[in-house]
Amino acid sequence: MYGNEKYDNRIVSKILEKMIRYSKGNREDINHLLKVHSYARLIGVLEALDGPELLTLEIASAVHDIACPLCREKYGNTDGRHQEEESEALLRPFLLEFDLPSEMVERIIFLVTHHHTYTNVEGRDYQILLEADYLVNCDESPRYRKNYESFRKNVFRTKTGIRLLETIFPEY
């Protein structure tokens, strides 16, 4: 599945379903992860990511906020720094049942443990995850809308992500 074999969309659906169960009825978390996944997939497809890279992006986008419930309980908030610190220990057992190649698991863990780090971005999957998460965060939170210009100038790099940002938020 990771090499030249055909990309299998069922695994992403199974992971999304597991994340929905993991969210235990928190509709804000569920809606957020589904929207981030949808934007990530849209940008990834339009930016011509190949099967393995797209699969990695889709899985990472589905599980990117896996630490939010723990962070709320442990810290009283979902600060990105805490999410990045707590994600790996949750991701490893979560992903185990899907029998993913180890290099893919490591990349997913890297992406999730850096999805609030906007410097030294390496890889189209990383770039697109940041853009997709911001598109959703900007819609959901006034705090992110305040940083629109900075994100547009300093974070967004893909043509598709920029087009979506400018189309979805024409008032900025």
Read off the CATH number of the domain in which 15 is found.
1.10.472.50
32 in any annotated domain:
yes
140 in any annotated domain:
no
pLDDT digit string, tens, across residues 132-159: 999 999 999 988 989 999 999 999 999 9
DSSP string of 90-144? HHHHHHHTT---HHHHHHHHHHHTTTT--SS--SHHHHHHHHHHHHHHHHH-HHH
Pull the structure tokens for residue 78. Answer: 């979902």
Domain count, the chain: 1
3-state DSSP call for residue 159?
helix
Q: How far is it, in rounded angstroms, from Cα 9 to Cα 51?
A: 10
The one-character DSSP state at 2 is -
145 in any annotated domain:
no
How sure is the predictor about 8, in pLDDT bands with cuts at 50, 70 and 90? low
Q: Cβ contacts of residue 129 below 8 Å, gap of 6+?
A: 36, 40, 57, 60, 61, 64, 111, 115
Helix (H) or strand (E) holding 22: helix 9-22
21 in any annotated domain:
yes
The boundaries of the domain holding residue 58 are 9-126
* AA identity, residue 123: G
Pull the structure tokens for residue 95. Answer: 């992903």
pLDDT digit string, tens, across residues 76-105: 999 899 999 999 999 999 999 999 999 999
**What is the model's pLDDT at position 172?**
81
Predicted model pTM:
0.94
